[in-house]
A and B are shown apart, each in its own frame.
Chain A
Amino acid sequence: MSAAIERADLLGGVEDLPSLPAVVMELLGSIEQEDIDIAVLAKKVSSDPALTAKTLRLANSSAYGLQVKATTIQQAMTFLGFQATRNLITTAALTGCFPAGRCPGFNDKAFWRHSIATAACARALARRVRFNADYAFTAGLLHDIGRLVLVTRFPERYQAVLSLRDRNDSELIEAERSLLGIDHVDAGVALAEHWHFSDTMRQAIAFHHAPEATGAGFLATIVHVASAVVHALDLAGNPDELAPRVSSVAWTALGLTEEAWLQVFHETELQYEEMSAILMA
C-alpha cells in the first residue's frame, strides 16, 4: 500500500472538488452573521431553480408544520425564519453536489442517510439543552463531509480502506488512519477551510470524535452524541452498522433523562424519514 497522504496533497486536491453554488458558500460563511441582507440572498437562491424546488419541498414537509405552503424562498424565510431556511438551502445543495458511485463499496446513499439523521438528531438535542438548534443541524449534516473528500480524491485507496474495515470489523476512522495516514476528520477540516466554513462549524467537524478535548466546544459534544445515536438507531441502512463508543464526558454534559432520550429518538426518526424521502429522491 502506498504512503500516507500528506496534508498538502489533500489540500491541493480539494481544488478539484465540486464547488458549491456561490450562494451556499455565502450562507455557510455567514452562519454567525446576523446582519445579512435577506432579500438579496433570497433572490440569489431563487436564480437556481433546482435548489429552490428542493428547498421549498423541505420547507413544506410536515417537519416544519407550516399551515400555509411556502411558494418562494422569500416566503420560506418569512415563515420559518432566516436560520432555518438557510439550513434547508445548505442541505439541499450539499446532498446533490458530490459525484456518486466513484468508489465501489462506498454507499453514498447510506452516507447521506447517516448525515441527515445526525442533523435531525443534533437539532432535537440542541433544543433540549438550549443550544442554537440551527448550528447543531448544519454541524450534524457536515460532520463526516471529509469522508466524501477522501472518496472523491482517492477512490481506489478508499476502497482498500473499506475492505480493511470489513476484514477487521473496526470503525471506519481506524481503517482510514492505518491505510491513509489521515482520516475523514483531517479531510473535513481541510474542506471546511477551503469552503470558508465558520470557525464554529470547523471546530465541530474537527472535534466530533474527541468531544472531551480542551477547546472542543459544546457543538462537538452534540454532534458526537447525535452521530452515535443515529448509528445505534440503525437508520442508515448499513447491514454492518456498528454503534461506536460514546464519550461519557459528552453524554454527561447533555444531562438528559431517559424519557427525554426516548423522545429524541422518536423525533429523529420522524424527521429523518421525511427529509431523506425528499433529498434522496
Chain B
Amino acid sequence: MSDRYELVPLAHLYPGMVLGDALLDAQGHVLLAEGAVLSEASILSLARHGVGAAPILRPHPVAEPDPSAIQARLDHVFRHNDRDDHADWATGLLRRYVEDYRLAREVAP
C-alpha cells in the first residue's frame, strides 16, 4: 500500500478517478497506464478483464506534518509572549495547551 494511492473496489470506481499505478491483468499485461483517467468505458473494460480493484490516486499526497514547522509557526504567533513571564501565566497556559493540541502531545486526563 502506498501513501499516494489506495486500492478502490470496482463497485466504487467512478469516471474521472486517476490511476496511481499501472493496472495489470493476470498475465502481467498493462491494461491501463499510471496516470490514466478512468472513463465509463474503461471501468466496464476492467470489469470484463475480471479486475476487482484499482489503485486510485489520493486527492492529496498524505504529508506528515512536520513538528518543527508547527512549533516555529506557534512561536511566531506567540511572539509577544515570554514563557518566563509568570505575571502572564494565562497566555503561557493557552500557549502550552495549543502546543499540546497541534503537536498531538500526550495530555494527562
Q: Which residues of B are found within 8 Å of A233, using beta-carbon distances?
A: 98
Q: Determine the distance from Cα of A93 to Cα of B101 in the docked complex, in whole angstroms.
A: 33
Q: Name B's interface SS.
A: helix
**Count of chain B residues near A, Cβ 8 A:** 22
Contacts of B73 in A (CB 8 A): 234
CB distance from A248 to the nearest CB of B (A): 4
Q: Are B107 and A245 in contact (CB under 8 A)?
A: no
| A185-203 CB contacts (< 8 Å) to partner B | none
Which of A79-87, A98-106, A258-266 lies at the binding interface?
Answer: A258-266
Complex interface: stretch among B16-24, B41-49, B61-69, B76-84: B76-84
Contact flags A216-241 to B (C-beta < 8 A → 1, else 0)? 00000000000011011110000001
Q: Which residue of B lies closest to A170 (CB)?
A: B80
Cβ of B93 under 8 Å from chain A: yes
CB nearest neighbor in A for B107: A258
A251 touches B90 (CB 8 A): yes
- Contact status B97-A243, CB under 8 Å: no
- Set of chain B residues within 8 Å of A259, measured between Cβ atoms: 107, 109
Asked if B14 lies at the interface with its beta carbon under 8 angstroms from chain A, I say: no
Residues of A within 8 A of B (CB): 169, 228-229, 231-234, 241-248, 250-252, 258-259, 261-262, 265-266
B96 (CB) vs chain A CBs: closest residue = A258
Give the nearest-CB partner of B92 in chain A: A246
Known: A241-B77, A243-B77. Contact between A262 and B94, CB under 8 A? no
| Contact A261–B78 (Cβ < 8 Å) | no
Q: How far is the CA of A58 from the CA of B24 in the complex (A)?
A: 46
Given the complex of chains A and B, what is the CA–CA distance between A242 and B73 in angstroms? Answer: 11
B65 to chain A, nearest CB (A): 13
